[in-house]
Amino acid sequence: MEILRHFFSDGEFQRRRTATLKLAEETGASTVLAFGENRSGLHVTYLCGWAPTRQAWLRMDASDVDLWVSFHNHVPAARRMANADRVGDVADAEPRRLLGGDQVIATLGQVPLHIRQAAEEAGATLVSLDRAHADLRASKSDEEVAALRLGGLASDIGASALIEACRPGATDWDLLAEARAAYTRAGARDHICYIGVTDMDAPSRDVPSQVPEGHVLTDRSVVTFELSAAVAPEYPGQILRTVFLGEPTDEYLTLHEVASRAHAQMRARVKAGVAAQELVDAAACVEESGLTTTDDLFHGLGMGYLDPVGVSPSRTPYTEPRGDLRDGMSIVIQPNVTTTDHRAGVQTGQMIVVRPSGFEDLHHLEEGPVMAA
C-alpha cells in the first residue's frame, strides 16, 4: 500500500500567519502567542505544523516564528517537522522573553498561569483571539481541502477494516485495533474512533462510547461507530455508520430510515450562502417521526470543532446554529436518530466541503445500513 503523505507549503503557512496577525492588529497587538499541551493545541499546529506532544509555545510577529516544545528529547523532531525560524526547549523559554516588551499581546489557546502572572507583572495586556480565529479557520484553503481529502480516504480505510471485523465473538477492542491498524499502515494518525455495541433485541445505548467497554459481538449485535483519521494533524475525515449482525429489528429499520431521510434532506440544502438553520429545518422528519437525537445533526470539523453546529429542536440543550454556510467550510452531517428514551440509536453520515453550488463529498463508502458479512 502506498503511504499517504501531505505537507503544507511555505506559502500556506504564510497565508495563515498573515491572516492571524491581521486579527491581532485589530486588538492593538503585533505579537501572537499560541499554546498547546498534552496532544492538544491546534493553534500551534495551524501556525507551524507541529502537533504538540507535551507543552508547546509559539511566538509570532511579522518577522519571526519561534517555537518551544517539551520534553528536551522532543526538540529534534520538532526542528525537523515544524515550519518555524527557531525551535527550542520550553525549559529554556523565560516568560519575559516570550512576552518581549509588548504592552498588548494576542493569544491563542489556554495561557499557562505563570505566563499570565508574568504578563501582569510586566504590565502587558493579553487579548484572546480564540473566537475570531475559529471563524478564520472555518473556511479551508485549497491545500487544506487536499489534506481533508486524505483524511477522508484514511478514515474510509479504517471504517472498512472495522466493518470487516464485525463478526460474532469479536470485541469492541478488536474492532478498534483493526481500524487503527488499517489507517496507521496507510500513513494516518488517530483522531477519534468511537464504537458502540448492543443487542438489537434489547438495546441499551444510543451513541457510541468514547472508549471500548469490552463488549463481545453476537449474531444479534448492532454496532455503531464514528471514526476520524488524519494524514495531516488536525485535518481528519469523519465517517459514521451502523452495522447489523443479523436481520435488523423493525425498530432499528425505522431509526435508520428516518436518519437516512434526514441525512439526504440536509445534504440537499447544502451550498454556500444558505443559512445553517436551514439544515436543522431539513431534519424535521426526526421529530415528525416521534424520535430525537443525542449527538449533533451537523458540525464544522478540521482544525477544530467549529461552527456551524446544529442540533435537533427536541435535544437538550438546544442552541441555534450561527451564520451561513461558506465556500470551503468542512462540515460533518450526521443525524444520530434515537428513541426518545435513548435506549437505541443509529449513526450515519460523513464529512463534506461546502461549495457555491453544493458540496464535495470527502468519503466514498456506500451509504445506508451495513449488513455484516
Q: Write down the pLDDT at residue 39.
A: 86
What confidence tier does 94 reach under pLDDT thresholds 50, 70, 90?
A: confident
pLDDT per residue as tens digits for the range 179-204: 999 999 999 999 999 999 999 999 99
Asked whether the predicted pLDDT for residue 97 surpasses 90, the reply is no
Q: Write down the pLDDT at residue 96.
A: 83
The pLDDT > 90 percentage for the chain reads: 95
What confidence tier does 266 reach under pLDDT thresholds 50, 70, 90?
A: very high
* Whole-angstrom distance, CA of residue 192 vs CA of residue 165: 18
Contacts of 207 (CB under 8 A, 6+ apart): 194, 196, 224, 294, 295, 336, 338, 345, 347
For the chain, give the mean pLDDT. 97
Residue 98 or residue 197, greater confidence: 197
Domains and CATH numbers, the chain: 10-138 (3.40.350.10), 142-371 (3.90.230.10)
Q: Write down the pLDDT at residue 168.
A: 98
Q: Write down the pLDDT at residue 234.
A: 98
Cβ atoms within 10 Å of 34's Cβ, excluding its own: 28
Q: Write down the pLDDT at residue 187.
A: 98
Q: Write down the pLDDT at residue 327.
A: 98
Is 195 in contact with 176 (CB distance < 8 Å)? yes
Q: Write down the pLDDT at residue 2.
A: 85
The predicted model gives 47-73 an average pLDDT of 96
